[in-house]
Amino acid sequence: MSQLAQIQAAVAAEATVIASAVTLLNGLKAKLDAIIANGVDPAEVQALADEIGAQTTQLAAAVQANTPASDGAADEIVAAESGTSTDAGTVGN
């Protein structure tokens, strides 16, 4: 797989993760709005806070698990396209 194809795949995967996070946040907001509209019950607020904590932990773990260490390929492509360098003596220097 070419470097460009690898970056395109990473961007597509990132877009999916972002969409999932937005869905999660919208769902939490809807639950909070419902709690507020029905009168605030401290037990419901605590349950929602616990759910937010659990989902935040899951999201953080998923992002960390699915974020590969940079091999520098993306940095080199950006540098080549912008005419700058990530290394003295290469593109643009």
Report CA torsion sign: 74, 75, 77, 78.
Answer: positive
Taking the C-alpha atoms of residue 10 and residue 74, their distance in angstroms, rounded to an integer, is 10
**What confidence tier does 18 reach under pLDDT thresholds 50, 70, 90?**
confident
Structural domain that includes position 31: 3-82
Residue 62 lies in a domain: yes
**pLDDT score recorded for residue 78:** 58
Taking the C-alpha atoms of residue 57 and residue 11, their distance in angstroms, rounded to an integer, is 23
Looking at every residue in the chain, the average pLDDT score rounds to 76
Residue 48 lies in a domain: yes
Residue 56 lies in a domain: yes
Residue 72 lies in a domain: yes
Residue 93 lies in a domain: no
Residue 90 lies in a domain: no
| 8-17, 63-72, 78-87: range with lowest mean pLDDT | 78-87
pTM value is 0.46
Q: How many domains does the chain have?
A: 1
